[in-house]
Amino acid sequence: MRTISILGATGSVGASTLDLIRRNREDWRVVALTANCNAQELAALAREFGAEIAVVADESCLPELRDALGDSGIDAAGGASALIEAAARPADLTVAAIVGCAGLAPVMAAIEQGGTIALANKEALVSAGDVMTAAVARHRATLLPVDSEHNAIFQCLAGNRIEDVRRITLTASGGPLRTWDAAQLRAATPAQAVAHPNWDMGAKISVDSATMMNKGLEFIEAHHLFPVGLDRIAIVVHPQSVIHSMVEYRDGSTLAQLGPSDMRVPIASCLAYPARMETPMAPLDLPALGTLTFEAPDEARFPATRLAREAAQAGGAAPAVLNAANEIAVARFLAGQIAFTDIAALVARALEEGNLPPAPQTFAEVLDLDRATRARVTAMLELA
């Protein structure tokens, strides 16, 4: 029996992970489950899986969590420090699925234990890529990518040498607004932006998919996970979301990973690594799929991938600024305060205005940069 902690247990990745564990209960013992403030659901999951501890990031939700856990014997805690302490508990596998930069500190805490982290929080590597990869090496931790694209690349690289890679191609669905013109995009509502045609994801990630920023963040993440050079990482739009990414080798061979649009597939890859496990997914029916299509990204209508590529090329503080500005912009869009097209425009302003600060050298400097960028972008919005 292996031990597991799930950071972000009530989100889409957490729910998919627990579904797989539920089907293989004899293989896993749950150490910690965390959520932001969904106390009732978190308590129910902690009871079902016999977790040692349940943690809410929002400390104001702790009384409700304690009431819901009752006399179960499961420890309850709340607040940022409790979240970090839960992440630092020894576990064979820690699934890091907290959305946004809020997951950065818990991920670092898990890395410092030297364990295996199934990373679903792309913002952590975007904002703190150099700091995080250095910590992974220092503490001899292992990162397994959960994102379907990076997990696909990971699988395609198995048994091969990174030196033999000619190109890595990230596939993008293009999101629900892929065919919309500029005027339609300007008028897009939050409900339309989160209505992804293929994937069931949270609101923030769904908006990122609609703007293509999700793919821009994944581009930067791939740069840290698979060091082949920025010029060897490409993006192609593949609306059917069947091919999840591809690796081309110097002999002309291209390996692709195919699968259904269900996060349980890449999560299962991480849970069973380096072996395989059964999942409830039906086999791919290629004749029923019929045709798979591909197209180049349109960076005129969806400039986010260009912004991310330029931030990666600039390095230093630019990727962290890109991520923080995007998080603020997406939150404002979901609140109905800015237009859909203002998201990328605001990120561009954050990257252009003034000189970017020096590259963060420590985890504390990454957090300081994130806070400062959020304050600066918020001020921009208030002055607009």
Question: Which of the four CATH numbers 3.40.50.620, 1.10.565.10, 1.10.1740.10, 3.40.50.2000 does domain 315-384 have?
Answer: 1.10.1740.10
Provide the token pair at 334.
Answer: 């979901």
Q: Decide if pLDDT at 371 tops 90.
A: yes
Mean pLDDT of the chain: 94
Per-residue pLDDT tens digits for 268-287: 999 999 999 999 999 999 99
Per-residue pLDDT tens digits for 310-338: 999 999 999 999 999 999 999 999 999 99
**CA 350 to centroid of chain Cα atoms:** 22
Q: Decide if pLDDT at 113 tops 70.
A: yes
Provide the token pair at 274.
Answer: 């380096």
Res 167: pLDDT:
98
Domain extents in the chain: 2-145, 148-260+286-302, 315-384
Q: Decide if pLDDT at 241 tops 90.
A: yes
Q: Work out the burial of residue 181: count CB atoms within 10 Å of its CB; fewer than 13 is exposed, 13-18 middle, 19 or more buried.
A: exposed
Instruction: Tell me the mean pLDDT in the region 102-125.
Output: 91
Cβ-contact 113, 139 below 8 angstroms: yes
Q: Decide if pLDDT at 354 tops 70.
A: no
Res 123: pLDDT:
80
Provide the token pair at 327.
Answer: 């998080």
Neighbours of 113 (CB within 10 A): 16
Res 111: pLDDT:
95
Q: What is the CA radius of gyration of the chain?
A: 20
Res 101: pLDDT:
76
Residue of 139, 178, 128 lying closest to 295 (CA atoms) = 178
Homologous superfamily (CATH) of 2-145 is NAD(P)-binding Rossmann-like Domain (3.40.50.720)
CA-to-CA distance for 384 and 320, rounded, in angstroms?
23
Q: Decide if pLDDT at 358 tops 90.
A: no
Instruction: Tell me the mean pLDDT in the region 166-178.
Output: 96
Q: Decide if pLDDT at 124 tops 90.
A: no
Q: At what angle do helices 342-352 and 304-314 cross, to 10 degrees?
A: 20
Res 103: pLDDT:
87
* DSSP letter for each residue of 325-378: HHHHHHHHHHTTSS-TTHHHHHHHHHHHSSPPPPPP-SHHHHHHHHHHHHHHHH
- DSSP lists the bridge partners of residue 55 as 34, 77
What pTM did the predictor assign? 0.93
Per-residue pLDDT tens digits for 48-96: 999 999 999 999 999 999 999 999 999 999 999 999 999 999 999 999 9
Per-residue pLDDT tens digits for 206-231: 999 999 999 999 999 999 999 999 99
Q: Which residues contact 320 (CB under 8 A, 6 or more apart)?
A: 126, 127, 128, 360, 366, 369, 370, 373
Q: Which residues contact 288 (CB under 8 A, 6 or more apart)?
A: none
Identify the band that residue 355 occupies on the pLDDT scale cut at 50, 70 and 90.
Answer: low
Q: Which residues contact 138 (CB under 8 A, 6 or more apart)?
A: none
Higher pLDDT, 234 or 197: 234
Higher pLDDT, 115 or 43: 43
Q: Which residues contact 219 (CB under 8 A, 6 or more apart)?
A: 170, 233, 235, 305, 308, 309, 312
Residue of 81, 121, 116 lying closest to 103 (CA atoms) = 121
Res 374: pLDDT:
94
